[in-house]
Amino acid sequence: MSLLKSTLDAIVVERPAPADDAPQHLCLDKGYDNQTGEQATLEADYVPHIRRIGEEKNDDSGEKTHPARRWVVERTLDWLSRLRGLLVRYDKLAECYLAMVKLGCALLWFRRLHDLTQEARLLTEILKAFEFSVVVL
């Protein structure tokens, strides 16, 4: 957890000094659920809020809420990295590279829409066949 400690030490923006009546809080995910993560936050004068491994987020009534969806960003970046023009940056100008990223995103959405429409067509054909078999019986 030396990376956490060095990150907390390298904060550029001046923060107000923590006081007893106004402590500063730091929220961390399950990756920091260990002694060194908690120790690093305490040494930096933060009140640690670390989600425990295996603990799900619950609402006020104790019901399980929707889980975090961090994988959406990682999945999208993985899909974009499969486009060779984006993986190896051939463009020298930032505007051209941004245009390639937008084109790549549009291509991803087009493929996703195409897959969804194909699935919808297949589902309607299955339902039609099922209704026909029910009527025949």
Cα 55 to the center of its chain, rounded Å:
18
Report the pLDDT value the prediction gives residue 135, as an integer from 0 to 100.
47
**pLDDT tens over the chain, length 137 residues:** 578 888 888 887 887 887 888 888 888 888 888 888 888 988 988 888 888 877 766 667 767 666 666 677 788 888 888 888 888 888 888 888 888 889 889 988 898 888 888 888 887 887 777 765 544 44
Q: How far apart are CA 1 and CA 32, in angstroms?
A: 8
Report the pLDDT value the prediction gives residue 27, as an integer from 0 to 100.
86
Q: How far is CA 2 from CA 7, 28, 56, 96, 125, in A?
A: 8, 15, 27, 38, 57
Report the pLDDT value the prediction gives residue 66, as an integer from 0 to 100.
64
| 8 A C-beta contact, residue 40 and residue 1 | yes
Would you say the pTM of this structure is higher than 0.85? no
Rg of the chain taking only CA atoms, in angstroms = 25
